[in-house]
Amino acid sequence: MSRETARAIAAAVGNGRSARVAVETALAACEADTLNAVIRVHRQRALAAADAVDARVRAGERLALAGVPIAAKDNLCITGLPATCCSRMLEGYVAPYTATAVARLEAAGAIIVAQTNMDEFAFGSSNETSCYGPVKNPVDPTRIPGGSSGGSAAVAAAGLVPVSLGSDTGGSIRQPAGLCGCHGLKPTYGSVSRYGLIAFGSSLDQIGPFAANAADADAVLAVMSGHDPLDSTSAPHPLPVVGEALRGLRIGIVPAHAEGLQPAVRAALDATKAKLQAAGATLVEVTLPHERFAVATYYVIGTGEAASNLARMDGIRFGHRADAPDLRQVYGKSRAEGFGAEVKRRIMLGTYVLSTGYYDAYYKKAMQVRRLICRDFEQAFATCDAILGPVSPTTAFKFGEKLSDPLQMYLSDIFTIAANLAGVPAHSFPAGRDELGLPIGMQLQGPMFSDRRLLAIASALD
């Protein structure tokens, strides 16, 4: 399995090596996948794209990601390819348009070789709810890879492709990156267009890269990000480039983040702190007083938004359509047949918190607490440049361990959720292994639009 970096591939192809070389390697690896991480391989399309990239290079075009093979999560629309969010509700759906983030990558020479498995509609932290079956952690096939972008995390960590794309609404890039042993970034809300990402939580979602190293993630982010007129929540300005990442760096440490950790995760946190100090950073104690309410806030806002977004899945314009004598039953049956249990659970909860009589106590209240969480981060970043902490309290758990207790599953996102509520960028990077060899991830969170600085810090630690 080739571990050629994305940058090395782009340089080689830019110098005249055929794009087919890296694409063939990636296609073969994806076709041989035993982790159930890859759900579709697009051989013909990828080889045709490789030839087109070669022609563009010969014509003198300079392509930032020339010939780089990429895998995309199944909730990203790519013209002519299926997009099902790993749900029977979208069985047969073929996208008639391409997500802006993907279109920009393809314009820069990147080549989609495969689509990856995910928790159904991105609701999950273990990739156990997919209609295509669960994904295996590349390090231990009896354990989950994390979720919801379990497939994309696994293929990047296992080296099937140098870069893959996921989405993060409550930790769905960062937590699987941590559990599989690769880098995974949730960009600043608004910095990567959501056009063409099948929506879960519209005020929370971001598309982001997985990679084996931070520099490749940065190269992909630089191409994908930036204002998009097709996304009205898209930030007007591009992400600033960073000078020196480590000079004068103040790293915030939240004391509460050290509690309730698996001992090896605690040790990895301490080791990472020491590494940063050795590289010249100073550690500063900060607090996020409302973070302990983040999971509750998220499960109100996120489910409310999800219930609203999934209302479009009605079988009429696309997706699974049941036969019934009246329209009301077409909706009710189609959706009951098409959606899995976790999806139904979240739709019901979202409907509850938005319904008359409950909206003020739950949804409106959660939006107020959300503002307090945003302020916590603003205050913390007055005294530090980035907050370091664990991505997950434990390493990868075994299949089935948390499926019967949804609340336990939700609590595995305890460290990742606040960043989605506040919109701040957050990056998960590999920070060692536990006594069983299972990967441990650490997380850097930064002020809005500091994404590239976070990646530069992680790169210095790589």
Contact set with other proteins (CB under 8 A)? 92-94, 96-97, 189-190, 203, 229, 232-233, 235, 290, 293, 295-297, 299-300, 307, 311, 314-319, 321, 324-333, 335-336, 339, 341, 344-345, 347-349, 351-353, 355, 361-362, 364-372, 374, 406-407, 410, 421-423, 448
The residue count for the chain: 462
Give the residues across from 163 on adjacent strands: 70, 211
User: Min. distance of Cβ 442 from other proteins in angstroms?
Assistant: 24
DSSP conformational letter for 240: P
The span from the CA of 228 to the CA of 236, in Å, is: 8
Closer residue to other proteins (CB): 11 or 341: 341
User: Min. distance of Cβ 306 from other proteins in angstroms?
Assistant: 11
Question: DSSP letter string over 42-58?
Answer: -HHHHHHHHHHHHHHHH
Closer residue to other proteins (CB): 360 or 435: 360
Alpha carbon 336 to its chain's center: 27
Closer residue to other proteins (CB): 89 or 269: 89
User: Min. distance of Cβ 227 from other proteins in angstroms?
Assistant: 10
Task: Quickly count: other Cβ atoms within 10 Å of residue 435's Cβ.
Answer: 9
Closer residue to other proteins (CB): 18 or 308: 308
The span from the CA of 223 to the CA of 234, in Å, is: 15
Marked catalytic residue, from 148, 191, 412, 428:
148
User: Min. distance of Cβ 124 from other proteins in angstroms?
Assistant: 14
User: Min. distance of Cβ 414 from other proteins in angstroms?
Assistant: 12
Is 273 tagged catalytic? no
Closer residue to other proteins (CB): 259 or 326: 326
Q: Are 135 and 127 in contact (CB under 8 A)?
A: yes
User: Min. distance of Cβ 462 from other proteins in angstroms?
Assistant: 29
User: One-letter amino acid identity for 177?
Assistant: A
Closer residue to other proteins (CB): 249 or 300: 300
The span from the CA of 189 to the CA of 173, in Å, is: 14
Marked catalytic residue, from 2, 87, 167, 172:
172
Give the residues across from 38 on adjacent strands: 116
Closer residue to other proteins (CB): 119 or 314: 314
> CA of 279: how far to CAs of 152, 207, 272, 298, 456, in Å?
31, 31, 11, 35, 13
Q: Is 317 exposed, middle or buried (0-12, 13-18, 19+ CB in 10 A)?
A: exposed
Is 73 tagged catalytic? yes
Dihedral pair phi/psi, residue 266, rounded to 5° = -60, -45
Alpha carbon 298 to its chain's center: 16
User: Min. distance of Cβ 22 from other proteins in angstroms?
Assistant: 32
Marked catalytic residue, from 73, 136, 186, 402:
73
Is 172 tagged catalytic? yes
Q: Are 35 and 152 in contact (CB under 8 A)?
A: no
H runs (alpha helix) in 87-233 = 100-107, 150-157, 174-180, 214-224
Half-sphere exposure of 77 (CA within 13 A, CB side): 17
Residues with catalytic function: 73, 148, 172
